[in-house]
Structure 1
């Protein structure tokens, strides 16, 4: 039914801050706005419950073409609404295939939360104006230690290790001194949201980095092998750079650029503390770096995380969630982002690039990717990425579903956007499960791994030429 597609579109628009529910409903072109408005509001109200049921039932993994917002609307109608309207058409047939599993997961959720009514499942996080609590993500710095040793340390300090998480609901349920291993990143530990580790000795010594899960994805998806040459185009404050160095095992070279001298100095301190010895920092404008410079002739991997509106950052959402970037500011940012992406694609040896922002705005994300790919005349393409990730790019051009989005509601992270771009004549990257298998050490390797103090950092502050 058109009603469900329209509701999903409005939900996506609200998340992208394109307007209020009422404004988007009335501008949707849908003839009967009253049921549309009611359906959107009720789906929003139960968003956290619906996300939990969908994740636990594995609906988006089973139905890979089903978009997250539409799934949420359909599951609401099936489980919490008055049933499918007008017979439901093909959507009812699709949901019937998963009805038993979805109802079982809803019932299990009620048992776990000791409630009997659907209304009782509503938590504070689903009330208007309050974002879901995002867990505390802690990346283990594999240049200095290993995940097993970090887990053992926290267990000795009285924390209870719950193993590898299997769903978002596992992460939502974290409380007290319990912690988990993230289901996707093998070096990412997950603690309850209120856990404060800023003064923890392992953090101060560079063994741990406090980094949101979404912010860890760009380096993981760029996946440069040890020994390769990498460019981090807009590098400060350095968390992603240190992650790249860990993936490289300090073997190879990272050329990192940033215009802000103070941020670069802070970054140098972070990298030194993390034991990074393969990074060359340059204070200067990435756009002024010549792709024909022989120093960068072997750069095959580029991470581009340009300045953005930051509309996905949790701190900004909490400060004033109603304030969206002005159109003028968005145009200026998108213009810079497009210039940076065009420039990055000119490096002759480039094989893979990851573009990321902490913005929710289409202008800074899908629109930038679409224009850059059109201008490349087929030389580059979007690579299929993490097919089981629940939140995909907005459907603004063919292939946009290969992009990733993240938000507190759908992925329990900060708001983020990621696109993986590859040179077209190169065979597409290995299947995602194969890539992840390479990222996850075998049990034998983990047993052999021991914490090692990193050798002295070799950071060279060079002028950009």
Structure 2
């Protein structure tokens, strides 16, 4: 019941303009924020349909104690969702009494509008477009398990493993209970778009991270070797931080900063669940962090994923159906902060490699920010050429911009994303030879999957206790 009560409270807050869905979900203190977020977004997307069905069935007239927002969430689960997966307490028998009438009204609405699918009832601005075709990407948390054991676990659950994908067409063709290994990332599994794993025991135990492929690229391309000192400048909600820790094998240090206390608290929970032990969280503005502080003298790697417009997020169309481009004023404010953060990051004396990323499609937040930062660095840093086979490159707004990466549902079957990898053009005198002798590896393709078994970090053969 807690899930549905929380979803109803978030819906009420959204309608009364108390905040965005994402902000209210994080403020709710509900433990599984992703599950709550998904339920609220889907209920909101079908809001007009649910209102029509509830009114036609006379549900609220018959059940005086059932509040409108809770009714909407419960009817969504009954008619359009996965049933009462979280338990509906005393409301379940009540909804079951009206189930036949509610289903009949939904069917009558389809006939009236001349459609056969639930999605066809949606207004054009609310219908899933290309974003709905983005597969469900699942990163295996190598701090707890490995791809081989996770694959075997899913196979025992009746899923059909199709091997490593060779093209985007393989990903587009995924259906039912089939899944693939991503062609680029050896720890990334790919399921059909509609696959919901928020209740899966491996996810709840921290063995799996539900993370879009494009969002996995920043940590992969930063590529810090075990033992490194790394800064994650704008870290919450923590998926990229947990990926960095996996690459470090929990050996080294991650200094993670974020100003939002609630998001940072949620991040701490995520890191604990995923077994991250090398991270130091700080509720602090990265711009206020001194590069001369002795705690950061060994930091050679920085991941900067600052606040942005979110115009590339595939979930944004669910939160804001038909939402247009961000205003010019908002873009200017965001780009100003992003540029200050990037220029600040480049002043850390031992820095060797930095990844700048956003989930934005806007040139002002992407190529323009990188261009201006490179100009201010006066040749100290340069763009590193990465992933030459990646099909979607940076906009040709300045020489070298083709080294940047872009992602989109249309070209890469991922969320919209931008990534630039900056590397130092010269070794600073303050860094010793020993500190810079570790070779850097720029991944260009995923390694072949080894035929081996994991040792201590095996995936559970039975659902773990949480």
Q: Deviations over 1:12-66 (max 9, x none)?
A: xxxxxxxxxxxxxxxxxxxxxxxxxxxxxxxxxxxxxxxxxxxxxxxxxxxxxxx
SS in 2 for 1:290: coil
TM-score normalized by the length of structure 2:
0.67
Contact 1:311 1:317 in 2 (8 A): no
- Residue 269 in structure 1 maps to residue 269 in structure 2: yes
CA distance in 2, matches of 1:431, 1:302: 16
SS in 2 for 1:337: helix
- Residue 299 in structure 1 maps to residue 306 in structure 2: no
CA distance in 1, matches of 2:260, 2:440: 36
SS in 1 for 2:342: helix
CA distance in 2, matches of 1:174, 1:342: 42
Matched residue, 1:361: 362
- Residue 153 in structure 1 maps to residue 159 in structure 2: no
* 1:371-390 pair list within 5 angstroms: 371-390=372-391
Matched residue, 1:169: 169
SS in 2 for 1:418: strand
Matched residue, 2:227: 227
Q: 2:453 aligns with which of 443, 447, 457?
A: 447
CA distance in 1, matches of 2:255, 2:441: 28
Residues 452, 255 of structure 1: CA spacing in aligned structure 2 closer, same or farther, 3 A cutoff?
A: farther
Contact 1:298 1:349 in 2 (8 A): yes
Q: Deviations over 1:385-414 (max 9, x none)?
A: 100000000000000000000000000000
Q: Deviations over 1:179-237 (max 9, x none)?
A: 00000000000000000000111100000010000000000000000000000000000
CA distance in 1, matches of 2:150, 2:210: 14
Residues 278, 431 of structure 1: CA spacing in aligned structure 2 closer, same or farther, 3 A cutoff?
A: closer
Moved more, 230-239 or 129-138: 129-138
CA distance in 1, matches of 2:441, 2:340: 30
Contact 1:146 1:449 in 2 (8 A): no
SS in 1 for 2:137: strand
Matched residue, 2:12: none
CA distance in 2, matches of 1:169, 1:449: 34
Structure 1 gaps, min length 5: 1-123, 455-465
Matched residue, 1:395: 396
SS in 1 for 2:339: helix
TM-score normalized by the length of structure 1:
0.67
SS in 1 for 2:453: helix
* 1:94-133 pair list within 5 angstroms: 130-132=129-131, 133=133
Contact 2:149 2:453 in 1 (8 A): no
SS in 2 for 1:271: helix
Matched residue, 1:12: none
- Residue 425 of structure 1: CA displacement? 1.7
Structure 2 gaps, min length 5: 1-119, 428-435, 461-466
Q: Deviations over 1:109-160 (max 9, x none)?
A: xxxxxxxxxxxxxxx9xx9972251000000000000000000000000000
User: What is the Cα-based RMSD across aligned positions, in Å?
Assistant: 2.2
Contact 1:134 1:413 in 2 (8 A): yes
Residues 134, 150 of structure 1: CA spacing in aligned structure 2 closer, same or farther, 3 A cutoff?
A: same
CA distance in 1, matches of 2:239, 2:214: 12
Contact 1:381 1:422 in 2 (8 A): yes
- Residue 315 of structure 1: CA displacement? 1.4
- Residue 447 of structure 1: CA displacement? 3.2
Residues 275, 452 of structure 1: CA spacing in aligned structure 2 closer, same or farther, 3 A cutoff?
A: farther
Residues 339, 185 of structure 1: CA spacing in aligned structure 2 closer, same or farther, 3 A cutoff?
A: same
* 1:34-183 pair list within 5 angstroms: 130-132=129-131, 133-183=133-183
Matched residue, 1:256: 256
Q: Deviations over 1:298-332 (max 9, x none)?
A: 00000000000000001113433451100000000
Contact 1:144 1:274 in 2 (8 A): yes
CA distance in 2, matches of 1:414, 1:143: 25
Matched residue, 2:345: 344
Residues 144, 431 of structure 1: CA spacing in aligned structure 2 closer, same or farther, 3 A cutoff?
A: closer
CA distance in 2, matches of 1:360, 1:243: 23
Matched residue, 1:417: 418
Residues 293, 431 of structure 1: CA spacing in aligned structure 2 closer, same or farther, 3 A cutoff?
A: closer
Q: Deviations over 1:243-270 (max 9, x none)?
A: 0000000000000000000000000000
Q: Deviations over 1:407-431 (max 9, x none)?
A: 0000000000000000012599867
- Residue 451 of structure 1: CA displacement? 2.2
Aligned residues: 325
CA distance in 1, matches of 2:441, 2:302: 20
CA distance in 2, matches of 1:263, 1:350: 27
The structure 1 segments of at least 4 consecutive aligned residues displaced by more than 4 Å after TM superposition are 426-432
CA distance in 2, matches of 1:321, 1:333: 22
Contact 2:226 2:250 in 1 (8 A): yes
